[in-house]
Amino acid sequence: MPGKEESTVDTIRSLKRKEPFNPFRIVMASGDRYLIENPDALAIAATQLHYYPRGGMGIHMRLNQIVTVEDLGESTAA
């Protein structure tokens, strides 16, 4: 579903560029959850995301497998 992928990518781009940056979580159809803590370690390609966390192996996420993106900055505001 191309429309869903485009809006998901737009959301991720927006969260990646947000100042100040707040961590966010990407939830995959498999149930895997990836915490994005460093916007500079996240690359957005045509069909995938590539994330290279410190001290960890690279994570490659297919855009069509992303279920939701959770903005953790909004949930911690009190």
pTM across the whole model = 0.84
Dig out the tokens for 58 from the structure. Answer: 């690279």
Q: Which residues of the chain have pLDDT under 50?
A: 1, 76-78
Cβ atoms 53, 78 nearer than 8 A: no
CATH code of 2-72, in short, is 2.30.30.100
Q: Which pLDDT value is given to residue 78?
A: 42
Q: Which long-range contacts (CB under 8 A, 24 or more apart) does 35-42 make?
A: 35/72, 39/15, 42/12, 42/16
Domain locations in the chain as residue ranges: 2-72
Q: Which pLDDT value is given to residue 73?
A: 86
